[in-house]
């Protein structure tokens, strides 16, 4: 039976692909205040602005390519049982070939009902040829079609699925997200007590976590290359 490796990836995973995620220190996402384009209140106040913002972001997404780190994770599926839990809304893990990806914060390539975002009958997957949503377009239930993104202040419906995977991990790897920030700090605690934990991040990380962690102080791609020398199927 293959060892189970669970990855938790955040903003630092996509940096090498040139794709910005929205949790920046300055509170801006592509020069827009986060509360304007990534909150329920922002959507309610200006759905046209928010729809056009995600149209713009989606066009950037289609041009982004997975980095070597994304591809190395996907390649591990030959020897390991791999689950990727990502805080990123891009589809770069899937583009690299990963087959089991849990998106905690939604997916930029999809749109959904604004009445019930997780109503599968109303979730639509967009493509580079059919990428833009005309503001005012309705979902199948008659509500406005909105980005399939977990806005600030909304619950994270996929968190329980991520916890289920963490509980089964033989190896837990965190890339590009802080150990002190939810959900990373919480999710790693669900891994079994004897499960080794690796953190790939070029920056120094302060303590606060409840278990020992092997810190690889490199970016996503260089860090993944080193990780593969440390773990065995």
The percent of residues above 70 in pLDDT, for the chain, comes to 91
C-beta atoms surrounding 189 within 10 Å: 13
Domain range 1-19+66-105+156-233, its CATH number among 3.40.50.10860, 3.90.1150.10, 3.30.2320.50, 3.40.50.1220:
3.40.50.1220
List pLDDT tens digits, range 106-121. 999 999 999 999 999 9
Judge: domain 22-63+107-149, CATH 3.30.1600.10: yes
Question: Would the CA dihedral through 170, 101, 92, 156 be positive or negative?
Answer: negative
Task: Give CATH 3.30.1600.10 domain extents, the chain.
Answer: 22-63+107-149
Active-site residue list: 105
Whole-angstrom CA distances from 76 to 28, 125, 154, 218 are: 35, 27, 33, 19
Tell me the angle at which helices 68-75 and 220-230 cross, rounded to the nearest 10 degrees.
30
Q: Quote the pLDDT of residue 211.
A: 72
**Going along the chain, which residue ranges are E strands?**
4-9, 28-29, 32-33, 81-86, 101-103, 106-113, 124-125, 145-149, 171-175, 197-200, 214-216
Closest by CA to 215, choosing from 228, 230, 229, 198, is 198
Task: Give CATH 3.40.50.1220 domain extents, the chain.
Answer: 1-19+66-105+156-233
Residue identified by tokens 């998106």 is 103
Would the pLDDT of 82 be above 60? yes
Would the pLDDT of 70 be above 70? yes
- The Cα–Cα gap between 38 and 30 comes to 12
Banded model confidence at residue 28, pLDDT cuts 50, 70, 90: low
Report whether the peptide linkage leading into residue 208 is cis, meaning its omega lies within 30 degrees of zero.
no
Banded model confidence at residue 78, pLDDT cuts 50, 70, 90: very high
Average pLDDT over residues 135-160: 94
């Amino acid at each position: 039976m293959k060892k189970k490796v669970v990855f938790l990836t955040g903003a630092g995973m996509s940096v090498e692909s040139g794709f910005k995620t929205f949790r920046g220190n300055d509170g801006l996402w592509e020069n827009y205040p986060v509360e304007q384009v990534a909150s329920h209140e922002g959507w309610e106040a200006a759905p046209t602005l928010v729809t056009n913002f995600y149209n713009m972001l989606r066009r950037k997404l289609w041009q982004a390519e997975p980095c070597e780190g994304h591809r190395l994770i996907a390649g591990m599926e030959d020897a390991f049982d791999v689950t990727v839990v990502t805080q990123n809304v891009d589809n770069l893990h899937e583009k690299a070939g990963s087959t089991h990806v849990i998106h905690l914060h939604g997916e930029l390539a999809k749109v959904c009902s604004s009445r019930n975002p997780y109503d599968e009958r109303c979730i639509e997957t967009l493509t580079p040829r059919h990428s833009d949503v005309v503001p005012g377009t309705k979902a199948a239930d008659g509500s406005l079609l909105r980005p399939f993104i977990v806005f600030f202040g909304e619950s994270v419906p996929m968190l329980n699925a991520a916890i289920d995977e963490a509980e089964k991990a033989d190896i837990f790897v965190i890339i590009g997200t802080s150990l002190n920030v939810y959900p990373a700090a919480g999710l790693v605690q669900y891994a079994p007590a004897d499960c080794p934990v690796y953190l790939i991040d070029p920056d120094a990380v302060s303590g606060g976590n409840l278990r020992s962690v092997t810190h690889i102080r490199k970016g996503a791609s260089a860090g993944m290359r080193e990780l593969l020398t440390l773990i065995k199927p």
